[in-house]
A and B are shown apart, each in its own frame.
Chain A
Amino acid sequence: MATESSTDFTLDTAAALAEAEQGAIEGKSPWFLAWRRLRRNYVALGFLAVFVVIVALCFLATPYAKHVAKTGPNENHLGETFTRDGKQVQIVSKGGFIGGEFVAGGIPVGPQLWHAGGRYVFGADTQGRDVAVRLLYGGQNSLKVGIGSAIICTFFAVVLALLAGYYGGGRDWVISRFFDLIWAFPVLLLAIALGTALSINGFHHFGINIEAGSLWIPTLVISFVLIPYIGRPMRGQILSLREKEFIEAANSQGASSFRVMFSELLPNIASSVLVFFTLIIASNILTEAGLSFLGAGVQPPSPSWGTLIADGQTRIATAPWLAIIPGIAIVLTVLSLNVFGDGLRDALDPRAKVRIER
């Protein structure tokens, strides 16, 4: 991943902004102005709505599984049937040697939509598990990992950036080399290595005990490997801000370092942090999907969108829905977050460009 943080200015920028704001910016707070800009961006708000709907659906997984699909996310139904339009249908086709002749089996039932009373809406997998139920529970896990790792990653990146940028000197050197060290590794390979190692025995050091199958493992691994991708640009902004007059003023008034960092510097990078945070959720969901696809993320039988695609790709010829449906879920989620993130960036700082690029 490469992160670009830069600001483009033109002579016409101020005039253009004033015109865009229709001249009514006097006496308004930056947050109010940002909100006013954002609410005019219908595309960004539309995609925010898509994301909210996806999150809401995923967190309705339990009632859906209990009352509609009537099965759990890991509950197999091999050898069982269900009723469709009054007829009994095999959930996974029977196979084997029948009358001495080999019959290929193991093909799961396809998407039933609403023909089976809410069961197997998106079909079954090869173990007869309800794909819709696993999709929703998988979404929960993917979102938990994506958002959780974004929070942790952003928190540590900002704290480290503040310490490095404000203090400079030796502390800056140590923190910057730490960023460089992580940056030196290809992010996905480092995540795979850490995820694979920890998914076997978990983490049991320094009084911290995390079991092998815990969601905390992919969450922490992704948080860790992405810290420099927020930390470095934030440090750059703080290095620039600490030379400003308002910081000198705060220092001359005897404000403590803590107060300068968190009351003066942090609010000035908050808009960038917010944009980064939004964009990195999308990036983290993709990373989680990649890790889980490779077996280094969410561990079976717990579903995630990545593990669902991994399970489905071996059945792409006979049961393509197994890989396509979670793929669509990832695309929609990442697209909605990215478009909303762009809209948020335009609203918070219409003169700045902040991009997270892989």
Chain B
Amino acid sequence: MTSRSRLPRLGALALLTAALALLAAGCGGGGDKSASGDQNAGSNEGKTYPELKVIWDAPDYMDPALAYTVAAWQINNYVYEGLLGYKHASGKEGATLVPYLAEAMPKISADGKKLSFKLREGLKYSDGTDVKASDFRASIERLFKVDSPGVGFFSNISGVSGSSGFAETKKGHISGIVTNDANRTIDITLDNPQGDILYILGTQFAAIVPAKTPASDQSTKGIPSTGPYMIQSYTPSRNFVVVRNPNYNDQIPTMPSGNPDKVVGKIITDPVAAYQQVATDKSDYDFQVVPNDRLPEAQSKYKDQLRIYTSPNTYYYALNNKLPPFNNLKARQAVQYAIDRNAIISGVYGGLGKPTQNFLPPDYPQYKKIDAYTFDLAKAKQLVQQSGTSGATVDVYGPNEDPSKSSTEYLANQLAKIGYKPKLHLLSHQVYFQTIGNQATKAQAMFTDWYQDYPHPLDWFDVLLNGNRITQTHNNNPGNVDVKSVNAEIESLKKEEEITPAVNDRWAKVDKDLMVTDSTTVPYMNRSQTDFFSTRMDMSCYSFHLLNQWDWGISCMK
């Protein structure tokens, strides 16, 4: 998904294209499928306070069908809810799926193609109207009508894909979603079993909104909500106000009811200005990462108000495996040795990051640390010589804003040091990923990063490095990584219903095969970020969620 540093990734668009060719796969996933009980969320509940003032980044949209930035999801996760959601807990426990509007986790058919949900009884929207089972179908259909960036996630539901599918016609109903308002039941039928479908149903794209919601962006108008809060006002690029949902009545016992009565957000995109607002106690929370230039001050002067976290993300250099010189294994290995991961983190990111050689972040149970490369320029030069690619021109692409720009400059410089002739192309964030995702660009080495949409290895290896999903445009695999044996293994792993230690080992092998054996890509960092608070906040309540970042709903004031 879009990273916190506002780098748009078009994962979902690629998903739409590729999902049409989904091969047989298994249903399952990491969620506790048998879990059905209401679970108490967090120990900070009940410490209510009148107002939370926050400095926020500009969300792309506030409409759950369109929003695809952390800035929007972090707010909306307390406003618009779906059948499933994540447990409000810090650490790995936060990746656990629990039923939100659904009464329990779904019943799944033996062939993994049918999921049956039942809505909780007495659910209401913030405007007092009843939540109906048919609203779920309407909400998914609305995604297609508004051209949501999340449509690709749902293309495996029966009746969506194909020339007469809902994605194409946008008429009638999706045949794979059958609802019964009287019984509150929702049955979802898939074309093929899909290992990550439950996680997808836990994303904001699957939030239930009233069936009558217009099929257009409702960010500034607001949509009746089902969560503990509702959006009272939103003025793009300026501010937003979130207040309690008057008709909530603790209808979702698996999530906190929220501590602040009101959240007043001011949108400031300049990290220095945002930092100053909080440092001077004019606001309570700085969404922006504290700039490198102010980190030493923040650490020494405001240490108690600063929290540093590393959400599941990977920053990596994509090398075009299909074009010279990086269609040569030794040339790719040379880049692995030419990158001083610790030096990038220190110099470019001010120390805010952890070096990695894995593609999968360390938060995953499938993660097995790779330690295959040490920074060795001499060895890198030798490999370039052996590859016979020395002196080749390399078109290096990156965004034109720091720190991504500096990271790209570093890559270009290291390529020059090992014998290539890099040509640097720095582009605006707005067009960067579209440009490198277009095969016509013929980019050879690129800056890129990825933040998880949901905690499943498929969101990494299938979306980003499965050669079967390479597209001409909007390509999420700009390095054109296409290792046949690994592609087959990814397709096979989709069929696995349960996340078992054996399955985890297979995912770890995929990681190793791609990063070491074939050295397809150069991961270098899991980026860390900051949460910075005013002196008014009670930091003993601080809770960081793997997907939704700082859990503001269970924050407390002194």
Q: Is A318 an interface residue (CB 8 A)?
A: yes
Q: How many residues of A contact B (CB 8 A)?
A: 33
Q: Is A309 an interface residue (CB 8 A)?
A: no
- B413 proximity list for chain A (CB < 8 A): 74-76, 127, 301
Contact B340 A79 (CB under 8 A): yes
User: Of the 9-residue stretches B38-46, B111-119, B239-247, B346-354, which lies at the interface with chain A?
Assistant: B346-354
Interface of A is mostly: loop
CA distance A106 to B346 in the complex (A): 5
CA distance A128 to B417 in the complex (A): 15
Q: Is A117 an interface residue (CB 8 A)?
A: no
Q: A315: nearest residue on chain B (CB-CB)?
A: B293
- B299 proximity list for chain A (CB < 8 A): 102, 104
Q: Is B308 an interface residue (CB 8 A)?
A: yes
Q: B344: nearest residue on chain A (CB-CB)?
A: A78
Q: How many residues of B contact A (CB 8 A)?
A: 42
Contact A127 B347 (CB under 8 A): yes
Which residues of A292-321 have CB atoms within 8 Å of chain B's CB atoms? 295, 299-301, 314-319
User: Using an 8 Å CB-CB cutoff, how does the interface string of B393-431 with A read, 1 for contact, 0 for none?
Assistant: 000000010100110011011101100000111110000
Query: Per a CB cutoff under 8 Å, which of B346, B353, B375, B424 touches A300?
Result: B424
Q: Is A92 an interface residue (CB 8 A)?
A: yes
CA distance A76 to B345 in the complex (A): 14
Contact B346 A94 (CB under 8 A): yes
Q: Is A213 an interface residue (CB 8 A)?
A: yes
Q: Is B294 an interface residue (CB 8 A)?
A: yes
Contact B410 A76 (CB under 8 A): yes
CA distance A105 to B293 in the complex (A): 10
Q: Is A275 an interface residue (CB 8 A)?
A: no
- B342 proximity list for chain A (CB < 8 A): 79, 94, 96
Contact A300 B296 (CB under 8 A): no
User: Using an 8 Å CB-CB cutoff, how does the interface string of A50-76 with B read, 1 for contact, 0 for none?
Assistant: 000000000000000000000000111
Q: Is B291 an interface residue (CB 8 A)?
A: yes
- B427 proximity list for chain A (CB < 8 A): 200
Q: Is A95 an interface residue (CB 8 A)?
A: yes
Query: Per a CB cutoff under 8 Å, which of A106, A314, A318 touches B347?
Result: A106
Contact A95 B410 (CB under 8 A): no
Q: Is B185 an interface residue (CB 8 A)?
A: no
- A15 proximity list for chain B (CB < 8 A): none
- B423 proximity list for chain A (CB < 8 A): 213
CA distance A299 to B423 in the complex (A): 11
CA distance A95 to B375 in the complex (A): 17
Contact A92 B424 (CB under 8 A): no
Q: Is B297 an interface residue (CB 8 A)?
A: yes
Known A213-B423, A213-B424; judge A126-B291 contact (CB<8 A): no
- B297 proximity list for chain A (CB < 8 A): 317
CA distance A301 to B421 in the complex (A): 13
CA distance A176 to B348 in the complex (A): 50
Known A96-B342, A97-B354, A301-B409; judge A78-B347 contact (CB<8 A): yes
Which residues of A75-107 have CB atoms within 8 Å of chain B's CB atoms? 75-76, 78-79, 92-97, 102-107
Known A96-B345, A105-B346, A300-B424; judge A78-B410 contact (CB<8 A): yes
- B291 proximity list for chain A (CB < 8 A): 314
Contact A127 B348 (CB under 8 A): yes
Q: Is A175 an interface residue (CB 8 A)?
A: no
- B292 proximity list for chain A (CB < 8 A): 104, 106, 126, 314-315, 318
- B295 proximity list for chain A (CB < 8 A): 104
Q: Is A281 an interface residue (CB 8 A)?
A: no
Contact A106 B351 (CB under 8 A): yes
CA distance A317 to B293 in the complex (A): 6
From B345, B405, B427, B528, name the one whose CB has the most chain A CB atoms within 10 angstroms: B345
Contact B343 A78 (CB under 8 A): yes
Query: Per a CB cutoff under 8 Å, which of B296, B346, B406 touches A96?
Result: B346
11 contacts between A and B (CB under 8 A): A78-B347, A94-B342, A96-B351, A97-B528, A102-B528, A106-B347, A127-B409, A128-B347, A316-B293, A317-B293, A318-B293
Sample of 10 more A-B contacts, CB < 8 Å, known A96-B346, A96-B351, A96-B353? A79-B342, A93-B346, A94-B351, A96-B342, A105-B346, A105-B350, A105-B351, A212-B425, A314-B293, A317-B294
Q: Which residues of B contact A (CB under 8 A)?
A: 291-297, 299, 308, 340, 342-355, 375, 400, 402, 405-406, 409-410, 412-414, 416-417, 423-427, 528
